[in-house]
Amino acid sequence: MKSQIFGRSAMLFLVVATPVSAGNGVYVGLGAGWDNQSNVTLQNLNASLPSGEVGNNDGLVIAGTIGFKFPEFPVRVEFESGYDWHSVSNINLGGTAYSGSGHNDIASELFNVVYDVPVGPGWNIYGGGGLGPGHVHFVPTLSATGEQLADIDHWALMWQLIAGASVELAPDAEVFVDYRYRDARAKETLTTSFGTLDAGPTTENVVMAGVRFYMFPPGSMP
């Protein structure tokens, strides 16, 4: 009898002491957050004419993911589709500031690889990166004259670095917060009254929060 009681108590202790663990296998996720774009360079191809840069306002970024978390080791692979949009705040050419309008929007289709590191019951930190195509639509315009100083509207290579933390809310769900450094390599030249300007690339600093839902809670994987 004592051995039975001891055995049941030990099993109960193991169940209670085991950290909550989100599922493995297929998951879907949704995130949104704050996106800060660095100034975009306008490099004049004529060295005797002024170069400059375009400042963009902070904007919103949204992203949806579908991925797979390996049950044997803490690695996730995922496809992420995202979009962010920004209005032009100012334009500087040769040290002269101009009022600007227009926008710099980016659609991204990235393949990420992420490594999770458990740090406590239900808590993980993670790091990784992604690579894929990004579509940049960048059209800065001088407010006073309406002249367009760049015209990027095409797909190019894009990459990102990711670092974040997640907490498990249930056997099939977790919330996350992470930081991303993103770089869209799209560039284009345009002949203007200031000379031929080479615009791009665009880099971003992103803080994103969201949720992931696993299709297979713990113990349900075949």
| 65 in any annotated domain | yes
Length of the chain: 222
Which residues share a beta bridge with 214? Answer: 27
Query: Of 188, 185, 203, 198, which is closest to residue 153 (Cα–Cα)?
Result: 188
| 168 in any annotated domain | yes
Distance CA 175, CA 172 (A): 11
Q: Identify each DSSP E strand in 171-201 by its residue range.
A: 173-184, 188-192, 195-199
DSSP-derived letter for residue 73 is S
Residue 60: CB atoms within 10 A of its CB come to: 12
Q: Are 66 and 78 in contact (CB under 8 A)?
A: yes
Average pLDDT over residues 134-144: 97
| 222 in any annotated domain | no
E strand or H helix at 2, and its extent?
helix 2-17
Angle CA 136–138–143, to nearest 5: 170
Locate 70 and state its tokens: 């390996």
| Residue in this structure with the two tokens 């099993």, named with its chain if needed | 11
Query: Of 185, 194, 184, which is closest to residue 149 (Cα–Cα)?
Result: 194
| 46 in any annotated domain | yes
- Domains in the chain: how many in total? 1
Q: What is the pLDDT of residue 13?
A: 34
Q: What is the pLDDT of residue 24?
A: 83
Average pLDDT over residues 73-96: 96
| 221 in any annotated domain | no
Distance CA 58, CA 33 (A): 11
Range(s) of the domain holding residue 9 = 2-216
Compute the CA torsion angle 111, 115, 120, 123 (nearest 10 deg): 0
High-pLDDT (> 90) share of the chain, %: 82
| 133 in any annotated domain | yes
pLDDT per position as a tens digit, 31-59: 999 999 999 999 999 999 999 999 999 99
More confident residue, 170 or 128: 128
Q: What is the pLDDT of residue 14?
A: 34
* 19: amino acid identity, one letter: P
pLDDT per position as a tens digit, 142-187: 999 999 999 999 999 999 999 999 999 998 999 999 999 999 999 9
Instruction: Round the average pLDDT of the chain to a whole number and report it.
Output: 90
Q: What is the pLDDT of residue 218?
A: 58
pTM of the model: 0.87
Q: What is the pLDDT of residue 171?
A: 86
User: For the domain that residue 18 is a member of, what is the CATH number?
Assistant: 2.40.160.20
Distance CA 10, CA 88 (A): 63
Among 3-12, 71-80, 203-212, name the most confident range.
203-212
* pLDDT bracket for residue 222 (50, 70, 90): low
| 36 in any annotated domain | yes
pLDDT reading at 191 higher than 60 = yes
pLDDT reading at 95 higher than 50 = yes
Q: What backbone torsions phi and psi does residue 210 show, to the nearest 5 degrees?
A: -175, -160
Q: What is the pLDDT of residue 18?
A: 37
Angle CA 109–57–179, to nearest 5: 50
More confident residue, 171 or 200: 200
